[in-house]
Amino acid sequence: MAQPSRLARTPLSVLDLAPIKEGHTIAETFRETLDLAQHAERWGYRRYWLAEHHNLASVASAATAVLIGYVAGGTSTIRVGAGGIMLPNHAPLVIAEQFGTLESLYPGRIDLGLGRAPGTDYPTMQALRRDLNNHDPFPQLVAELREYFAIPRPGQAVRAIPGAGLDVPVWLLGSSGFSAQLAGDLGLPFAFAAHFSPVDLFSALEIYRHFFRPSEVLKRPYVMIGLPVLAADTNEEAQRLSTTEYLNFLRLVRGQLAPLSPPVDSLNGLATEMEHAVITSKRAAAIVGESHTVRSKLEAFLEKTNADELILTCSPYDHAARLRSYEIVAQIKQAAQAEAETAPAAIA
């Protein structure tokens, strides 16, 4: 009997950066975020994550926990979480209290993904009061945070209220081997950021799986990969829509802070050869195209990585185009599942 395709049995999720667009207000951005989450819930996506970034003119999810509460309050079944909270920017107690509050309000639906990068530039790191002269304290911060979620010990002086004793799933996020090894050592689920830094993907997966030790959280490794996927009704339209994301990367490479701009008909001459090489490297994992193209590339990606879950991101300028992209991918997934259900009868 043939095995169902990996796509049929692999959960799909959504990563949203709450994109700010030229000519639109941030209030509109938040309404579109909730609208996408509500559609994603209906279309069968497993989770909806928002990412912490600061001082980026194209990203509105800086107050990540607040936005998670807004999305969770406007949905009913989809898991909502952080992809992620940049833990060194915060006191672990504050994060435990924030996510303890969210878990208390929306029990069984909140995820906490943790990253160790600043999610911003050097001046903003200073404004966040981040200790720039300290050694990398990320493992200690993770341990402290997890302690606040544990059942309090007798005589424990500081507790997270709310937070203590609550089951808030903790994930480690990364784009290199550091967090991969730490996640493996701790027996935690690991999410890799191939949506902006795919170069170390396979080495990080190997490190995580090699160092994984079963824990009370997981008995076997669990990998989720962030993947840029932009689907449209034709390959040509998808490629055109993707120019918005290309231009956003170009501005980041140049240190230019600006909202997302509308797509353009041609990218010729807009970037230098070196800039184009950098952008191409950062978008090496991107899947762009119509339904058949996207399905073929998703299946191939899953075969190469053996990912347990994919968390997809796309930020075309037009909100309707973003909805359509996630709808097409959901339809691809549903078709793969339907084929898997009928396969045994067909083989017999």
CA-based nearest residue to 116, from 176, 160, 58, 168? 176
CATH number at residue 125: 3.20.20.30
Residue 224 in domain: yes
Task: Say if 56 falls within a structural domain.
Answer: yes
Residue 248 has pLDDT above 80, yes or no: yes
Residue owning tokens 């084929």: 339
Q: Are 146 and 139 in contact (CB under 8 A)?
A: no
What is the reported pLDDT for 137?
87
Q: How confident is the model at residue 1 (pLDDT cuts 50, 70, 90)?
A: very low
Write down the pTM of the prediction.
Answer: 0.94
Mean pLDDT (the chain, rounded): 93
Going by C-alpha positions, the residue among 287, 327, 324, 311 that lies closest to residue 51 is 311
Least confident of 18-32, 89-103, 330-344: 330-344
Using CA atoms, how far apart are residues 189 and 51, in angstroms rounded to an integer? 17
What's the pLDDT score for residue 48? 98
Output the pLDDT for position 117: 78
Q: How many domains does the chain have?
A: 1
- Provide the pLDDT for residue 331: 98
- Residue predicted with more confidence, 4 or 302: 302
Q: Could you give the percent of the chain with pLDDT greater than 90?
A: 87
| CB atoms closer than 10 angstroms to residue 49 | 29
Report if residue 241 sits inside a domain. Answer: yes
Which pLDDT score is estimated for 342?
Answer: 87
User: Does 149 fall in a domain?
Assistant: yes
pLDDT tens figures, 208-241: 999 999 999 999 999 999 999 999 999 999 999 9
The predicted model gives 245-253 an average pLDDT of: 95
Q: Does the pLDDT value for residue 38 go beyond 60?
A: yes
Contact present, 298 and 307 (Cβ < 8 Å): no
Q: Identify the CA nearest to 85 among candidates 105, 101, 62, 56.
A: 62
The CA–CA distances, whole Å, from 319 to 35, 72, 184 equal 9, 20, 38
- Checking phi first, is residue 104 left (phi over 0); if not, alpha (psi -120 to 50) or beta? alpha
Does the structure show a pLDDT above 60 at 86?
A: yes
Average pLDDT over residues 294-300: 98
pLDDT, tens only, 115-139: 987 655 667 767 776 565 666 689 9
Q: Is 144 a residue whose pLDDT tops 90?
A: yes
Residue 1 lies in a domain: no
**pLDDT above 70: percentage of residues in the chain:** 93
Q: Does any domain span residue 38?
A: yes
Domain that holds residue 95: 6-347
319-348 pLDDT, tens digit per residue, is: 999 999 999 999 999 999 999 988 765 443
Mean pLDDT of 91-105: 97
Q: Which of 106, 46, 87, 109 is nearest to 172 (CA)?
A: 87
